[in-house]
Protein backbone atom coordinates (compact mmCIF):
# COMPACT_ATOMS: atom_id res chain seq x y z
CA UNK A 1 0.00 0.00 0.00
CA UNK A 2 2.93 2.34 0.73
CA UNK A 3 3.94 2.14 -2.93
CA UNK A 4 0.48 3.36 -3.99
CA UNK A 5 0.52 6.12 -1.39
CA UNK A 6 3.89 7.42 -2.65
CA UNK A 7 2.85 7.22 -6.31
CA UNK A 8 1.75 10.03 -8.62
CA UNK A 9 -2.00 10.00 -9.07
CA UNK A 10 -2.04 10.44 -12.87
CA UNK A 11 0.27 7.45 -13.35
CA UNK A 12 -1.93 5.38 -11.04
CA UNK A 13 -5.08 6.35 -12.98
CA UNK A 14 -3.43 5.68 -16.35
CA UNK A 15 -2.37 2.20 -15.19
CA UNK A 16 -5.70 1.52 -13.43
CA UNK A 17 -8.47 3.71 -14.95
CA UNK A 18 -11.04 2.37 -12.45
CA UNK A 19 -9.10 4.14 -9.68
CA UNK A 20 -10.26 7.44 -11.23
CA UNK A 21 -13.90 6.31 -10.91
CA UNK A 22 -13.39 5.41 -7.25
CA UNK A 23 -11.75 8.79 -6.53
CA UNK A 24 -14.60 10.62 -8.29
CA UNK A 25 -17.14 8.67 -6.26
CA UNK A 26 -15.59 10.13 -3.10
CA UNK A 27 -15.50 13.68 -4.54
CA UNK A 28 -11.80 13.62 -5.43
CA UNK A 29 -11.67 14.98 -8.98
CA UNK A 30 -8.11 14.00 -9.96
CA UNK A 31 -9.25 12.56 -13.31
CA UNK A 32 -10.00 16.05 -14.63
CA UNK A 33 -6.67 17.50 -13.45
CA UNK A 34 -4.30 18.43 -16.26
CA UNK A 35 -1.18 17.95 -14.15
CA UNK A 36 -1.77 14.95 -11.90
CA UNK A 37 1.60 14.87 -10.19
CA UNK A 38 0.15 14.88 -6.64
CA UNK A 39 1.02 11.84 -4.56
CA UNK A 40 -1.92 9.83 -3.22
CA UNK A 41 -0.76 10.42 0.37
CA UNK A 42 -0.85 14.20 -0.22
CA UNK A 43 -4.28 13.95 -1.85
CA UNK A 44 -5.59 12.24 1.30
CA UNK A 45 -4.11 15.01 3.43
CA UNK A 46 -5.55 17.75 1.22
CA UNK A 47 -9.07 16.33 0.91
CA UNK A 48 -9.30 15.08 4.52
CA UNK A 49 -12.23 12.70 3.99
CA UNK A 50 -13.99 11.24 7.00
CA UNK A 51 -11.80 8.38 8.34
CA UNK A 52 -14.38 5.73 7.38
CA UNK A 53 -14.71 7.13 3.83
CA UNK A 54 -10.93 7.29 3.46
CA UNK A 55 -10.63 3.67 4.58
CA UNK A 56 -13.35 2.51 2.15
CA UNK A 57 -11.81 4.48 -0.74
CA UNK A 58 -8.29 3.13 -0.13
CA UNK A 59 -9.60 -0.42 0.27
CA UNK A 60 -11.30 -0.22 -3.11
CA UNK A 61 -8.19 1.26 -4.73
CA UNK A 62 -6.10 -1.54 -3.24
CA UNK A 63 -8.56 -4.13 -4.62
CA UNK A 64 -8.13 -2.62 -8.11
CA UNK A 65 -4.34 -2.39 -7.95
CA UNK A 66 -3.76 -5.73 -6.16
CA UNK A 67 -6.72 -7.95 -7.23
CA UNK A 68 -4.93 -11.10 -6.01
CA UNK A 69 -4.07 -9.78 -2.54
CA UNK A 70 -6.06 -8.97 0.54
CA UNK A 71 -4.93 -5.54 1.71
CA UNK A 72 -6.11 -4.31 5.10
CA UNK A 73 -6.33 -0.52 5.26
CA UNK A 74 -6.25 0.81 8.84
CA UNK A 75 -8.77 3.39 9.96
CA UNK A 76 -7.17 6.83 10.30
CA UNK A 77 -7.39 8.17 13.83
CA UNK A 78 -10.19 10.72 13.92
CA UNK A 79 -9.31 14.26 15.07
CA UNK A 80 -11.56 15.97 17.60
CA UNK A 81 -14.28 17.88 15.82
CA UNK A 82 -13.28 21.48 16.39
CA UNK A 83 -14.85 23.24 13.50
CA UNK A 84 -18.46 23.61 12.51
CA UNK A 85 -19.79 24.14 9.03
CA UNK A 86 -17.68 22.90 6.15
CA UNK A 87 -15.87 24.20 4.27
CA UNK A 88 -14.22 26.25 7.00
CA UNK A 89 -12.67 29.51 5.87
CA UNK A 90 -10.65 31.91 8.01
CA UNK A 91 -11.18 35.67 7.41
CA UNK A 92 -8.39 36.10 4.80
CA UNK A 93 -9.46 33.00 2.86
CA UNK A 94 -13.10 34.01 3.23
CA UNK A 95 -12.13 37.27 1.49
CA UNK A 96 -10.80 35.29 -1.47
CA UNK A 97 -13.99 33.19 -1.55
CA UNK A 98 -16.03 36.43 -1.65
CA UNK A 99 -13.93 37.60 -4.60
CA UNK A 100 -14.63 34.25 -6.27
CA UNK A 101 -18.33 34.96 -5.86
CA UNK A 102 -17.91 38.18 -7.87
CA UNK A 103 -15.90 36.41 -10.57
CA UNK A 104 -18.54 33.66 -10.77
CA UNK A 105 -21.23 36.28 -11.40
CA UNK A 106 -19.30 37.31 -14.52
CA UNK A 107 -18.60 33.72 -15.58
CA UNK A 108 -22.32 33.00 -15.31
CA UNK A 109 -23.10 35.73 -17.86
CA UNK A 110 -20.53 34.66 -20.45
CA UNK A 111 -22.87 32.25 -22.33
CA UNK A 112 -25.47 35.02 -22.78
CA UNK A 113 -22.75 37.42 -23.83
CA UNK A 114 -21.32 34.98 -26.36
CA UNK A 115 -24.69 34.44 -28.02
CA UNK A 116 -24.75 38.15 -28.92
CA UNK A 117 -21.04 38.65 -29.51
CA UNK A 118 -20.17 40.46 -32.70
CA UNK A 119 -16.72 42.02 -32.91
CA UNK A 120 -17.62 43.78 -36.16
CA UNK A 121 -19.68 46.27 -34.16
CA UNK A 122 -18.24 48.99 -31.90
CA UNK A 123 -20.59 47.94 -29.11
CA UNK A 124 -19.50 44.30 -29.42
CA UNK A 125 -15.83 45.23 -29.22
CA UNK A 126 -16.44 47.51 -26.23
CA UNK A 127 -18.20 44.73 -24.32
CA UNK A 128 -15.41 42.27 -25.10
CA UNK A 129 -12.77 44.82 -24.03
CA UNK A 130 -14.67 45.52 -20.81
CA UNK A 131 -14.67 41.78 -20.08
CA UNK A 132 -10.92 41.61 -20.66
CA UNK A 133 -10.47 44.64 -18.40
CA UNK A 134 -12.46 42.94 -15.60
CA UNK A 135 -10.46 39.73 -15.90
CA UNK A 136 -7.11 41.53 -15.98
CA UNK A 137 -7.76 44.18 -13.34
CA UNK A 138 -9.96 42.31 -10.85
CA UNK A 139 -9.60 38.55 -11.38
CA UNK A 140 -5.87 38.74 -12.08
CA UNK A 141 -4.29 41.86 -10.52
CA UNK A 142 -6.55 42.03 -7.46
CA UNK A 143 -7.38 38.37 -6.78
CA UNK A 144 -4.75 36.07 -8.33
CA UNK A 145 -1.98 38.48 -7.34
CA UNK A 146 -2.94 38.14 -3.66
CA UNK A 147 -2.71 34.38 -4.01
CA UNK A 148 0.60 34.39 -5.88
CA UNK A 149 2.39 37.18 -4.02
CA UNK A 150 1.09 36.52 -0.49
CA UNK A 151 -0.94 33.36 0.16
CA UNK A 152 1.01 30.79 -1.85
CA UNK A 153 4.27 32.12 -0.38
CA UNK A 154 3.16 30.76 3.01
CA UNK A 155 3.51 27.26 1.53
CA UNK A 156 6.19 25.20 -0.16
CA UNK A 157 6.16 26.27 -3.81
CA UNK A 158 7.09 22.73 -4.83
CA UNK A 159 3.77 21.34 -3.61
CA UNK A 160 1.87 19.91 -6.55
CA UNK A 161 -1.41 21.50 -5.52
CA UNK A 162 0.21 24.96 -5.67
CA UNK A 163 1.79 24.18 -9.04
CA UNK A 164 -1.61 23.12 -10.40
CA UNK A 165 -3.17 26.41 -9.30
CA UNK A 166 -0.31 28.46 -10.79
CA UNK A 167 -0.65 26.51 -14.05
CA UNK A 168 -4.35 27.40 -14.10
CA UNK A 169 -3.49 31.08 -13.65
CA UNK A 170 -1.05 30.95 -16.59
CA UNK A 171 -3.56 29.12 -18.80
CA UNK A 172 -6.14 31.78 -17.90
CA UNK A 173 -3.71 34.54 -18.86
CA UNK A 174 -3.04 32.82 -22.19
CA UNK A 175 -6.81 32.76 -22.88
CA UNK A 176 -7.04 36.48 -22.07
CA UNK A 177 -4.14 37.32 -24.41
CA UNK A 178 -5.88 35.31 -27.13
CA UNK A 179 -9.17 37.14 -26.52
CA UNK A 180 -7.36 40.49 -26.73
CA UNK A 181 -5.72 39.46 -30.03
CA UNK A 182 -9.08 38.24 -31.37
CA UNK A 183 -10.69 41.60 -30.57
CA UNK A 184 -7.93 43.42 -32.48
CA UNK A 185 -8.41 41.11 -35.47
CA UNK A 186 -12.22 41.32 -35.10
CA UNK A 187 -12.21 37.52 -35.06
CA UNK A 188 -15.47 36.76 -33.25
CA UNK A 189 -15.07 32.97 -33.48
CA UNK A 190 -11.65 33.04 -31.78
CA UNK A 191 -12.90 35.39 -29.03
CA UNK A 192 -15.88 33.10 -28.37
CA UNK A 193 -13.62 30.05 -28.23
CA UNK A 194 -11.24 31.58 -25.70
CA UNK A 195 -13.97 33.15 -23.54
CA UNK A 196 -15.60 29.72 -23.35
CA UNK A 197 -12.24 28.20 -22.46
CA UNK A 198 -11.62 30.83 -19.78
CA UNK A 199 -15.08 30.26 -18.27
CA UNK A 200 -14.59 26.51 -18.14
CA UNK A 201 -11.10 26.84 -16.65
CA UNK A 202 -12.04 29.39 -13.99
CA UNK A 203 -15.25 27.59 -13.00
CA UNK A 204 -13.29 24.43 -12.18
CA UNK A 205 -10.35 26.38 -10.71
CA UNK A 206 -12.62 28.25 -8.29
CA UNK A 207 -14.37 25.04 -7.26
CA UNK A 208 -11.00 23.42 -6.47
CA UNK A 209 -9.89 26.40 -4.42
CA UNK A 210 -13.14 26.89 -2.48
CA UNK A 211 -13.74 23.23 -1.71
CA UNK A 212 -10.27 21.71 -1.49
CA UNK A 213 -7.33 24.12 -1.46
CA UNK A 214 -8.57 26.81 0.95
CA UNK A 215 -9.95 24.41 3.59
CA UNK A 216 -6.64 22.51 3.44
CA UNK A 217 -4.67 25.76 3.78
CA UNK A 218 -6.81 26.78 6.76
CA UNK A 219 -5.86 23.53 8.47
CA UNK A 220 -2.14 24.21 7.88
CA UNK A 221 -1.98 27.90 8.87
CA UNK A 222 -1.41 28.96 12.46
CA UNK A 223 -3.50 31.76 13.99
CA UNK A 224 -0.45 34.03 13.77
CA UNK A 225 -0.14 33.35 10.03
CA UNK A 226 -3.88 33.94 9.56
CA UNK A 227 -3.53 37.36 11.22
CA UNK A 228 -0.52 38.29 9.08
CA UNK A 229 -2.28 37.15 5.90
CA UNK A 230 -5.31 39.26 6.81
CA UNK A 231 -3.14 42.38 7.25
CA UNK A 232 -1.17 41.68 4.07
CA UNK A 233 -4.40 41.27 2.07
CA UNK A 234 -5.76 44.54 3.52
CA UNK A 235 -2.55 46.35 2.49
CA UNK A 236 -2.69 44.84 -1.01
CA UNK A 237 -6.36 45.81 -1.40
CA UNK A 238 -5.95 49.41 -0.20
CA UNK A 239 -4.90 50.80 -3.61
CA UNK A 240 -7.49 48.64 -5.44
CA UNK A 241 -10.64 50.54 -4.35
CA UNK A 242 -11.19 52.06 -7.79
CA UNK A 243 -10.74 48.66 -9.47
CA UNK A 244 -13.35 47.16 -7.13
CA UNK A 245 -15.80 49.98 -7.83
CA UNK A 246 -15.33 49.60 -11.60
CA UNK A 247 -15.67 45.81 -11.34
CA UNK A 248 -18.94 46.09 -9.39
CA UNK A 249 -20.28 48.45 -12.05
CA UNK A 250 -19.31 46.03 -14.80
CA UNK A 251 -21.02 43.12 -13.02
CA UNK A 252 -24.20 45.16 -12.49
CA UNK A 253 -24.19 46.12 -16.17
CA UNK A 254 -23.77 42.47 -17.23
CA UNK A 255 -26.55 41.30 -14.92
CA UNK A 256 -28.87 44.01 -16.13
CA UNK A 257 -28.15 43.17 -19.73
CA UNK A 258 -27.97 39.37 -19.60
CA UNK A 259 -30.35 38.75 -16.69
CA UNK A 260 -30.30 36.24 -13.88
CA UNK A 261 -31.25 33.20 -15.92
CA UNK A 262 -27.64 32.31 -16.73
CA UNK A 263 -26.43 31.61 -13.20
CA UNK A 264 -24.76 28.36 -14.15
CA UNK A 265 -21.58 28.38 -12.09
CA UNK A 266 -22.98 30.33 -9.14
CA UNK B 1 -22.05 12.38 35.90
CA UNK B 2 -24.72 13.63 38.29
CA UNK B 3 -26.79 16.65 37.35
CA UNK B 4 -29.18 18.57 39.55
CA UNK B 5 -32.10 20.61 38.31
CA UNK B 6 -31.44 24.36 38.37
CA UNK B 7 -32.81 27.28 36.42
CA UNK B 8 -29.51 28.48 35.02
CA UNK B 9 -27.20 26.09 33.10
CA UNK B 10 -24.30 28.40 34.01
CA UNK B 11 -24.56 27.56 37.70
CA UNK B 12 -26.24 24.16 37.53
CA UNK B 13 -24.46 21.74 39.88
CA UNK B 14 -22.66 18.87 38.17
CA UNK B 15 -20.70 16.14 39.92
CA UNK B 16 -18.04 14.81 37.51
CA UNK B 17 -15.76 13.09 40.05
CA UNK B 18 -16.16 9.70 38.39
CA UNK B 19 -15.40 11.10 34.92
CA UNK B 20 -12.36 12.99 36.24
CA UNK B 21 -10.99 9.90 37.96
CA UNK B 22 -11.18 8.01 34.69
CA UNK B 23 -9.30 10.68 32.73
CA UNK B 24 -5.56 10.23 32.41
CA UNK B 25 -3.74 12.84 34.52
CA UNK B 26 -0.53 14.43 33.23
CA UNK B 27 2.46 13.80 35.45
CA UNK B 28 5.49 15.95 36.12
CA UNK B 29 5.83 19.71 36.34
CA UNK B 30 4.06 21.61 33.57
CA UNK B 31 5.74 24.93 32.90
CA UNK B 32 3.64 28.11 32.90
CA UNK B 33 3.29 29.89 29.57
CA UNK B 34 2.13 33.13 31.20
CA UNK B 35 4.44 35.98 30.14
CA UNK B 36 2.72 39.03 31.62
CA UNK B 37 0.95 40.56 34.61
CA UNK B 38 -1.75 41.67 35.23
CA UNK B 39 -4.26 39.56 33.33
CA UNK B 40 -7.71 40.64 34.59
CA UNK B 41 -9.35 42.81 31.91
CA UNK B 42 -10.12 45.66 34.34
CA UNK B 43 -6.48 45.74 35.43
CA UNK B 44 -4.63 45.46 32.13
CA UNK B 45 -3.48 48.37 30.02
CA UNK B 46 -4.54 47.53 26.44
CA UNK B 47 -1.46 49.13 24.91
CA UNK B 48 1.05 47.37 27.18
CA UNK B 49 4.10 46.18 25.20
CA UNK B 50 3.11 42.52 25.31
CA UNK B 51 -0.15 43.32 23.45
CA UNK B 52 1.54 45.20 20.59
CA UNK B 53 1.07 43.19 17.38
CA UNK B 54 0.31 40.11 19.48
CA UNK B 55 -2.03 37.18 19.12
CA UNK B 56 -4.29 37.83 22.10
CA UNK B 57 -6.48 35.47 24.10
CA UNK B 58 -9.57 36.88 25.78
CA UNK B 59 -10.54 34.10 28.14
CA UNK B 60 -13.57 33.58 30.34
CA UNK B 61 -12.46 33.01 33.93
CA UNK B 62 -13.54 29.36 34.09
CA UNK B 63 -11.86 28.18 30.87
CA UNK B 64 -8.36 27.59 32.22
CA UNK B 65 -9.79 25.32 34.95
CA UNK B 66 -11.84 23.24 32.51
CA UNK B 67 -9.23 22.88 29.78
CA UNK B 68 -6.45 20.51 30.84
CA UNK B 69 -3.92 21.64 28.23
CA UNK B 70 -4.61 25.37 28.46
CA UNK B 71 -1.01 26.53 28.99
CA UNK B 72 0.86 24.49 26.36
CA UNK B 73 -1.94 24.30 23.77
CA UNK B 74 -3.53 27.76 23.92
CA UNK B 75 -1.58 30.26 26.05
CA UNK B 76 1.87 29.51 24.61
CA UNK B 77 3.15 32.45 22.57
CA UNK B 78 0.09 34.59 23.23
CA UNK B 79 -0.89 37.59 25.36
CA UNK B 80 -3.95 37.21 27.56
CA UNK B 81 -6.75 38.92 29.46
CA UNK B 82 -9.44 37.22 31.52
CA UNK B 83 -12.97 38.30 32.39
CA UNK B 84 -16.35 36.96 33.46
CA UNK B 85 -19.25 38.26 31.38
CA UNK B 86 -21.73 37.07 34.00
CA UNK B 87 -20.31 38.53 37.20
CA UNK B 88 -18.01 41.40 36.23
CA UNK B 89 -19.28 44.97 36.39
CA UNK B 90 -18.34 47.91 34.15
CA UNK B 91 -18.36 45.94 30.91
CA UNK B 92 -18.49 49.06 28.72
CA UNK B 93 -14.89 49.59 29.83
CA UNK B 94 -14.17 46.09 28.53
CA UNK B 95 -15.48 47.07 25.08
CA UNK B 96 -13.23 50.15 25.04
CA UNK B 97 -10.18 48.11 26.06
CA UNK B 98 -10.80 45.45 23.43
CA UNK B 99 -11.31 48.18 20.82
CA UNK B 100 -7.97 49.69 21.89
CA UNK B 101 -6.33 46.30 21.24
CA UNK B 102 -7.56 46.48 17.64
CA UNK B 103 -6.90 50.17 16.97
CA UNK B 104 -3.98 51.13 19.20
CA UNK B 105 -2.05 47.97 20.09
CA UNK B 106 -2.62 46.73 16.52
CA UNK B 107 -2.95 43.15 17.67
CA UNK B 108 -2.57 40.42 15.04
CA UNK B 109 -5.52 38.19 16.06
CA UNK B 110 -8.00 37.88 18.92
CA UNK B 111 -9.17 34.50 20.19
CA UNK B 112 -12.13 34.54 22.55
CA UNK B 113 -12.31 31.41 24.69
CA UNK B 114 -15.57 30.79 26.51
CA UNK B 115 -17.39 27.99 28.29
CA UNK B 116 -20.39 26.36 26.65
CA UNK B 117 -22.82 27.83 29.22
CA UNK B 118 -25.13 30.47 27.68
CA UNK B 119 -23.97 33.39 29.86
CA UNK B 120 -20.43 33.01 28.54
CA UNK B 121 -21.54 34.09 25.04
CA UNK B 122 -21.63 37.58 26.54
CA UNK B 123 -17.83 37.75 26.34
CA UNK B 124 -17.92 36.90 22.65
CA UNK B 125 -20.61 39.56 22.16
CA UNK B 126 -18.37 42.17 23.85
CA UNK B 127 -15.54 41.32 21.44
CA UNK B 128 -17.88 41.59 18.47
CA UNK B 129 -19.16 44.99 19.67
CA UNK B 130 -15.57 46.20 20.00
CA UNK B 131 -14.66 44.88 16.55
CA UNK B 132 -17.66 46.61 14.98
CA UNK B 133 -16.65 49.90 16.62
CA UNK B 134 -12.93 49.59 15.76
CA UNK B 135 -11.44 51.28 12.73
CA UNK B 136 -8.96 48.47 12.21
CA UNK B 137 -10.20 44.93 11.62
CA UNK B 138 -8.39 41.74 12.62
CA UNK B 139 -9.40 38.06 12.52
CA UNK B 140 -11.40 37.05 15.61
CA UNK B 141 -11.83 33.42 16.57
CA UNK B 142 -14.25 31.91 19.09
CA UNK B 143 -13.45 28.69 20.92
CA UNK B 144 -16.20 27.13 23.00
CA UNK B 145 -15.06 24.76 25.77
CA UNK B 146 -17.32 22.07 27.19
CA UNK B 147 -17.78 21.50 30.91
CA UNK B 148 -15.92 18.23 30.35
CA UNK B 149 -12.87 20.13 29.05
CA UNK B 150 -13.40 19.15 25.40
CA UNK B 151 -13.50 21.70 22.59
CA UNK B 152 -17.10 22.04 21.46
CA UNK B 153 -16.61 24.52 18.66
CA UNK B 154 -13.84 26.54 17.07
CA UNK B 155 -14.79 29.14 14.48
CA UNK B 156 -13.62 32.39 12.93
CA UNK B 157 -16.22 35.11 13.34
Q: Which of B132, B141, B110 is nearest to B41 (CA)?
A: B110
Taking 50 as the pLDDT cut, the residues of chain A under it are 80-86, 261-266
Q: What is the pLDDT of residue A266?
A: 41
Q: What is the pLDDT of residue B65?
A: 95
More confident residue, A16 or B46: B46
Rounded CA separation A108/B38 (Å): 55
A69-124 pLDDT, tens digit per residue, is 888 888 877 664 444 444 568 999 999 999 999 999 999 999 999 998 889 999 99
Task: Give the H or E element holding residue A161.
Answer: helix A160-185
What is the four-CA torsion angle of A240, A241, A246, A251, rounded to 10 degrees? 90
Rounded CA separation A83/A97 (Å): 18
Judged against a pLDDT cut of 70, whether residue B86 lies above it is answered with: yes
Beta carbons within 8 Å of A180's beta carbon, 6+ residues apart: A132
For chain A, give every domain's residue range. 2-65, 91-258
Cis, bond preceding A263 (omega within 30 deg of 0): no
Q: Which of B41, B113, B108, B39 is nearest to B73 (CA)?
A: B113
Instruction: Tell me what the mean pLDDT of segment B20-33 comes to.
Output: 76
Q: For testing the chain B interface, which of A98, A222, A231 should be mutated: the one with the most B CBs within 10 Å?
A: A231
Q: What is the mean pLDDT of chain B?
A: 90
Q: What is the pLDDT of residue A70?
A: 85
Of B55, B77, B151, the CB nearest to A227: B55
Parallel, antiparallel, or unpaired: how do β-strands B140-145 and B2-3 relate? unpaired
Instruction: Tell me what the mean pLDDT of segment B78-102 comes to.
Output: 95
Q: Is the dihedral of CA A178, A180, A185, A187 positive or negative?
A: positive
Q: For testing the chain A interface, which of B137, B140, B149, B156 should be mutated: the one with the most A CBs within 10 Å?
A: B156
Indicate yes or no: CB of A224 within 8 angstroms of CB of B108: yes
Superfamily of domain A2-65: SP0561-like (1.10.3910.10)
ipTM given for this complex: 0.85
Rg, C-alpha atoms of chain B: 16
Indicate yes or no: CB of B111 within 8 angstroms of CB of A223: yes
Q: What is the mean pLDDT of chain A?
A: 87
For B108-129, the DSSP string reads: SEEEEEEESSGGGHHHHHHHHH
* A60 close to A22: Cβ distance less than 8 angstroms: yes
Beta carbons within 8 Å of A250's beta carbon, 6+ residues apart: A106, A130, A133, A134
Indicate yes or no: CB of A90 within 8 angstroms of CB of B139: yes
More confident residue, B10 or B28: B28
* A168 close to A45: Cβ distance less than 8 angstroms: no
Rounded CA separation B140/A4 (Å): 41
Rounded CA separation A235/B121 (Å): 32
Rounded CA separation A71/A1 (Å): 8
Judged against a pLDDT cut of 70, whether residue B151 lies above it is answered with: yes
* A169 close to A141: Cβ distance less than 8 angstroms: no
Q: Which of A134, A260, A146 is nearest to A214 (CA)?
A: A146
Interchain contact A97–B (C-beta under 8 A): no
The region of weakest confidence among A146-160, A164-178, B1-15, B45-59 is B1-15
Question: A62: number of CA atoms within 13 Å, CB side?
Answer: 16
CB pairs under 8 A between A and B: 46
Beta carbons within 8 Å of A259's beta carbon, 6+ residues apart: A112
More confident residue, B12 or B94: B94
Nearest residue in chain B measured CA to CA from A79:
B151
Cis, bond preceding A150 (omega within 30 deg of 0): no
Q: Which residues of A touch B137 (CB under 8 A)?
A: 230, 234
CB atoms within 10 A of CB B127: 24
Q: Which residues of A touch B138 (CB under 8 A)?
A: 227, 230-231
A242-257 pLDDT, tens digit per residue, is 999 999 999 999 999 8
Interchain contact A219–B (C-beta under 8 A): no
Which listed CATH number (1.20.120.520, 3.30.450.20, 1.10.10.10, 3.40.50.1820) goes with A91-258? 1.20.120.520
Q: Which of B13, B156, B63 is nearest to A227 (CA)?
A: B156
* Identical fold between A2-65 and A91-258: no
Indicate yes or no: CB of B139 within 8 angstroms of CB of A84: no
* B130 close to B82: Cβ distance less than 8 angstroms: no
- What is the nearest CA distance from B4 to chain A, expressed in angstroms? 28
* B142 close to B112: Cβ distance less than 8 angstroms: yes
CATH code: domain B28-156 is 3.40.1360
> How many residues would you count in chain B?
157
What letter would DSSP give residue B155?
A: E
Amino acid sequence: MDKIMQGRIKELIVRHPKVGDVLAEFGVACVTCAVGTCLLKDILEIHRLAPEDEQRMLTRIAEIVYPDRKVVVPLRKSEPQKKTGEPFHSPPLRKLVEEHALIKRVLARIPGMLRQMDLDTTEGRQLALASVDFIRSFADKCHHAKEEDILFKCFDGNLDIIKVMLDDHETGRAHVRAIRDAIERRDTAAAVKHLKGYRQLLTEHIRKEDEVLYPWMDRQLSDTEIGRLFSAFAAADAPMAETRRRSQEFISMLEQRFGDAERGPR
Amino acid sequence: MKEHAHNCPGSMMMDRRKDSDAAEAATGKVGSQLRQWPIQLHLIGPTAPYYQGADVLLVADCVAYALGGFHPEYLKGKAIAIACPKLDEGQDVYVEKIKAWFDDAKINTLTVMIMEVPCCMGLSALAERALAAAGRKVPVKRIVVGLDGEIRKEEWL
